[in-house]
Chains A and B, each alone.
Chain A
Amino acid sequence: MSGGQYHRPHRRAWFMERPAYIRFMIREVTSFFMAAYLIVLIVTLAKVGVGEAAAAEWLQALSTTGWKVAHAVALAATVWHTITFFAAVPQAMPIYIGEDRLPAPIAKIVMGYGPWLTATAVILWGVLR
């Protein structure tokens, strides 16, 4: 190929160019909050492993307003990440019945929301009974 082609410059703020890119970045950022909450959860389990007093002390430390806000943010981020994850499931794992593909809304329930709500109900039953 002869010279003279024009190459557009790389765009550093590419994620601002389309609303879909912004949504993608938000989805990626929610992973950070999920990872951070996972660390809190692991520490909580470790404290429970140490003993009742250590666990109570840790839970007391988590009862401050700052930690409550952090938990609320982590919950919101996790719910959003879950919704976007389930939205992608029918694309990534299509189910075929013969030559017909299971419609996306049904696939989301069968492979996403259904098992999620079932697992949540089982856990709640185990904790609250």
Chain B
Amino acid sequence: MAETKTITLELFRYHPETDSEPRFQSYEVPYDEDWVVLDAINWIKDYVDGSVTHRWSCRMGVCGSCGMMVNGEPKLTCAAFLKNYYPFPIKVEPLVNFPVERDLVVDMEGFMDKLQDVKPYIIRDDVNDTSEGEYLQTPAELAQYKQYSMCINCMLCYSACPVVGHEDDFLGPAALALGHRYNKDSRDQGQSERLEVMLRSEAMWGCTFVGECTVVCPKHVDPAGAIQQAKAMGAQEYFKRFVMPKGAGATKGAGA
């Protein structure tokens, strides 16, 4: 009878009530080439150690819950196949640049606050009655921002960004890309209001364009590109305010 193949997972463990420092704990997991790292962690939790704490939900790259460091790379563990690491051990840690709550779970509160800072919703000067119909948009107008609307808030980009690791107040890639997404939406009239936040020094000007946020993004959002475009938009807005202090404002409106 063939011997069952196994693979070693080294999990970051930290229980605040008992641990003053984190440690790594190794687990032997059955190797199945269809399994992803998340399957292996779930197997450990179900059959070996129920105290292992991690966050996950959809298991198919949609919810953005299962982001972790896999051998030092920020990844969705539901999309990281064991076969890409076998037969070597896999080291799994919580996302870097975030406080660790417990084991593989990080504190998302600061991230959520930053998302809200950029006013991630359509802002209108006038709101039409629903009887007047939808705010129409052409495919070309949709193409301007669609890529930036695909973010699943998995926070991998925050772990890949060295600026996030060194500047606590930096708004970060996902929040800035989300702000840019609404600034590029033809139905939105809140560009000026939103840029008020994004023009702050700790916002988009903090980005040094390392570009790793774009590389690790599982949804191909390209936050680095969005931020550079937002910088150009912000520079135009700044210049307009300088030349026409009272006339500056949102440059685009939209009709129903």
Contact = CB atoms under 8 A, between A and B. Distances in A.
Interface of A: 1, 3-8, 10-11, 14-15, 17-18, 20-21, 24, 28, 88, 90-94, 96, 98-101
From A3, A4, A28, name the one whose CB has the most chain B CB atoms within 10 angstroms. Answer: A4
A24 B100 contact: no
Contact count band on B? 35 or more
B166 A14 contact: yes
B229 A20 contact: no
Contact of B211 (A17, A24, A28): A24
A47 to B, nearest CB: 35
Given A4-B16, A14-B162, A99-B142, A91 B228 contact: yes
B22 interface: yes
Given A14-B162, A93-B229, A99-B140, A4 B212 contact: no
A8 B166 CA distance: 11
A24 B138 CA distance: 38
Contacts of A100: 143
9 contacts: A1-B107, A1-B109, A5-B101, A14-B165, A88-B211, A91-B211, A91-B228, A92-B228, A92-B231
A76 B21 CA distance: 46
B219 to A, nearest CB: 16
Contacts of B87: none
Contact of A6 (B14, B166, B210): B14
Interface string B204-244: 00001111101100000010110011011000000000000
